Amino acid sequence: MMKPLVLLVDDEVPFVETMTKRLKKRDLVVNSAYSGQEALDILDKHRNTDVVILDVKMPGMDGIETLEKIKKSYPLTEVVMLTGHATVESAIEGMKKGAYDYLMKPCDIDQLMQKVEEATQKKLVHEDKIKEAKVKEAMSMHGLE
């Protein structure tokens, strides 16, 4: 299995740095960004990103807004929200906007890993389905069926 490509977004630099190291140690390929805009830029370069781990509360473009943009441009990329506050509302809002799941900070690394894997899995399934559909389409176009 391919290593999932993860993008970690949070404005807290030490958090991102440490988390990146820990995730890398767990055999993930990790890119990091310190703001919503930077995250979008990196996504543009690495379109094959599987999962974005996104903090809700950030200065400037906040998590929800970033999530909307990501989902618009890269609908297949899954997003796991990290929320500082225990409000169900912000989590629900994130889920409605297309996030895969949410975790509360500080989060357990194992839990996070599990979510990332699930999300990656989901993305792969999606992609397979799309590929299959494309193949079918191509085949029907060429009259092979």
Partner 1 sequence: MDQDKGTHNGYYYSLTRNMLLVIILVAIMPMIVVSSIILYQFDISYHEKVHAHLEELVLKHKHNIDGFLKQKLGDIRLLGKTFSYEELRDESFLRDRLELLQEIYGPVFVDLGVVNDRGIQVAYAGPFKLGKALYSNAKWFQMAMKSDHVKSDVFLGLRGIPHFIIAVRENYNGQPWILRATVDFVAFNNLVENIRIGETGFAFILNRRGEFQTKPLFDLIANKEPYTDFLKDSEKFQDGVRIIERDDDAGNKVIYVAALLKHGDWLLVYQQKASDAFSDLRRTLRVTIAIMLLAGICIVVIAFILSKRMVNRVASADQEKEMMNEQIVETGKLASVGELASGIAHEINNPVAIMVEEAGWIEDLLEEEEFRGGENLDEFKRALEQIRTQGRRCKEITHKLLSFARKTDSRIQDVQLNDLIEELIALSAQRAKFANVDINVNLQENPPILHVSQTELQQILLNLINNALDAMEKTGGTLNVSSELEGDYIVVEVEDDGPGIPEANIVRIFDPFFTTKPVGKGTGLGLSICYGIIKKMGGDIIVKSTMEVGTTFRVKIPISKDEQTEA
Residues of this chain that interact with partner 1 (CB under 8 A) are 12, 14-15, 18-19, 21-22, 25, 57, 84-89, 104-107, 109
Residue placing its CB nearer to partner 1 in the complex, 32 or 77 = 32
Nearest partner of 123 among 65, 55, 74, 64, judged by Cα: 74
Nearest partner of 28 among 126, 114, 128, 129, judged by Cα: 114
Q: In the bound complex, what is the minimum distance in angstroms from residue 21's beta carbon to partner 1?
A: 6
Rg (CA), the chain: 16
Does residue 77 contact residue 50 with C-beta atoms inside 8 Å? Answer: yes
Q: In the bound complex, what is the minimum distance in angstroms from residue 2's beta carbon to partner 1?
A: 22
Q: In the bound complex, what is the minimum distance in angstroms from residue 15's beta carbon to partner 1?
A: 5
Compute the Cα dihedral for 111, 104, 60, 15 and give only its sign: negative
